[in-house]
Amino acid sequence: WNQPFTAIDIGCGNGWVVRRIRAHALCQHASGIDGAPSMIAKAREVDPEGDYIEAMLPDWKPSEAVDLIHTMECLYYLDDPLGFLHTLHNDWLRPGGRMVIGVDHYQENPSSHDWGPSLNVHMALLSIEEWTEGLEKAGFVDVEAVQVGAKEGWSGTLVLTANRRMD
């Protein structure tokens, strides 16, 4: 970033991404949201000065839109992750803002396919194309997808980036 910005980490867990983002010289505010009370408690314990919100998606939304949204290993737990991308684009992200999504559970990563059934948890299994098209249909531009850290038996983390157009 080359100008002051605000950020939110969806599925913040213990808050490590929030702490990293907040340490950036131009970060004006960073907050984290997580639905797990134990994770929010841990984040607040480690970082009492931080802004950590215990809330469930897709119902919660920030009081103000932000410049950067980060989420890792979270959106596929939603009943309609692609539909939620519209909400993120329209209600969470400022014009000109950027979205960064990390996903390990996706169609092209076969070793992740049994995660949902083995944990008895709903996990949407989407392809790279479904993710990128979903971002584009939600109104995002400059959509990119790259697989990072691939190795034998692991297709890597799918990292998706996208921008909201300046209005």
Q: What is the dihedral of CA 29, 54, 70, 166, to 10 degrees?
A: -60
Q: How far apart are the first and last CA of the chain?
A: 19
pLDDT, one tens digit per residue, over 115-156 is: 999 999 999 999 999 999 999 999 999 999 999 999 999 999
Q: What is the model's pLDDT at position 82? A: 98
Mean pLDDT by 10 residues, the chain (167 residues): 95 98 98 98 97 96 97 97 98 98 98 96 98 99 98 97 94
Domains of the chain, with CATH numbers?
10-56 (no CATH), 64-167 (3.40.50.150)
